[in-house]
Structure 1
Amino acid sequence: MNQLTYRDYLVESRLPTIWCPGCGNGIVLKAILKAFADLGLDRKKTVAVSGIGCWGWADDYIDTNAFHGTHGRALAFATGIKLANPELTVVVLMGDGDGATIGGNHLIHAARRNVDLTAVVVNNFNYGMTGGQYSGTTPRGSITSTSLLGHVEDGFDLCALAAASGAPFTARGSVADGEDLRTLIRTGLSRKGFSFVEAVSACTTHYGKRNGIKTPTEMFQWIRKNSVSRERAATLPEEKVRGKFVLGVFSDRQSEDYGTRYRKAAEAAVKEAQA
Structure 2
Amino acid sequence: MKLVASKPESLTDAKFHYCPGCTHGIIHRLVAECLDELDIRENTIGICPVGCSVLAYDYFNCDMLEAAHGRAPAIATGIKRMLPDRYVFTYQGDGDLASIGMAEIVHASARGENISVIFVNNTIYGMTGGQMAPTTLIGQVTTTSPYGRKVEQTGYPLKMAEILSQNEGAAYICRTAVNNPANVIKTKKAIKKAIQTQMKGLGFSMVEVLSTCPTNWGLSPVKALEWLEDNMIPYYPLGEFKVKEEK
Aligned pair 1:245/2:233, yes or no? Answer: no
SS in 2 for 1:198: strand
Structure 2 counterparts to residues 189-268 of structure 1, below 5 A? 189-191=195-197, 192-206=202-216, 208-209=217-218, 214-226=219-231, 243-254=234-245
Structure-1 residue corresponding to 2:89: 91
- Number of the residue aligned with 1:18: 17
**Is the contact between residue 202 and residue 219 of structure 1 (CA under 8 Å) also seen in structure 2?**
yes
Seen in structure 2, the aligned counterparts of structure 1 residues 6 and 196 have a Cα distance that, compared at 3 Å, is farther
Say if 1:56 and 1:93, in contact at 8 Å, map to a contact too. no
Secondary structure of the residue that 1:149 maps to in structure 2?
Answer: coil
Q: What is the TM-score normalised by the length of structure 2?
A: 0.88
| Alignment partners' CA distance in 1, 2:148 and 2:89 | 35
Report if aligned partners of 1:6, 1:37 keep a CA contact under 8 Å in 2. no
> For residues 13-92 of structure 1, what are the structure 2 equivalents within 5 Å?
14-15=14-15, 17-41=16-40, 43-92=41-90
- What is the RMSD of the two structures over their aligned residues, measured on CA atoms? 1.7
Whether the 8 Å contact between 2:48 and 2:90 is mirrored in structure 1 is yes
Q: Distance in 2 between matches of 1:245 and 1:116?
A: 25
User: What letter is aligned with 1:37?
Assistant: D
**Distance in 2 between residues matched to 1:149 and 1:227, nearest whole Å:** 18
How many residues are matched?
Answer: 231
Moved beyond 4 Å, runs of 4+:
none
3-state SS, counterpart of residue 106 of structure 2: helix
2:109 matched to which residue of 1?
111
Deviation at 1:82, TM superposition (A): 0.4
The aligned counterpart of 2:131 is 133
Helix, strand or coil at the partner of 1:172: strand
Per the TM alignment, residue 175 of structure 1 is displaced from its structure 2 partner at its CA by 1.4
Matched to 2:188, the amino acid is R
Structure 1 unpaired stretches of 5+: 229-242, 257-275
Larger radius of gyration: 1
- Structure 1 residue 81 displacement after superposition: 0.5
Q: What is the SS of the residue equivalent to 2:237?
A: strand
CA distance in 1, matches of 2:50, 2:130: 15
Identity of aligned residues (%): 31
Show the counterpart of 1:180: 186
Aligned letter for 2:176? G
Q: C-alpha distance in 1, partners of 2:99/2:246?
A: 27
Q: Which runs of 5+ in 2 are unaligned?
A: none
Distance in 1 separating the partners of 2:56 and 2:7? 14
1:224–1:140: structure 2 CA closer, same or farther, 3 Å change rule?
A: closer
Matched, 1:168 2:171: yes
2:9 paired with 1:8: yes
How far does the alpha carbon of each residue in 1:109-142 deviate from its partner, in whole angstroms, 9 at most, with x for none? 0000000000001001111000111111111111
Deviation at 1:44, TM superposition (A): 2.5
Counterpart of 1:29, as a letter, is: H
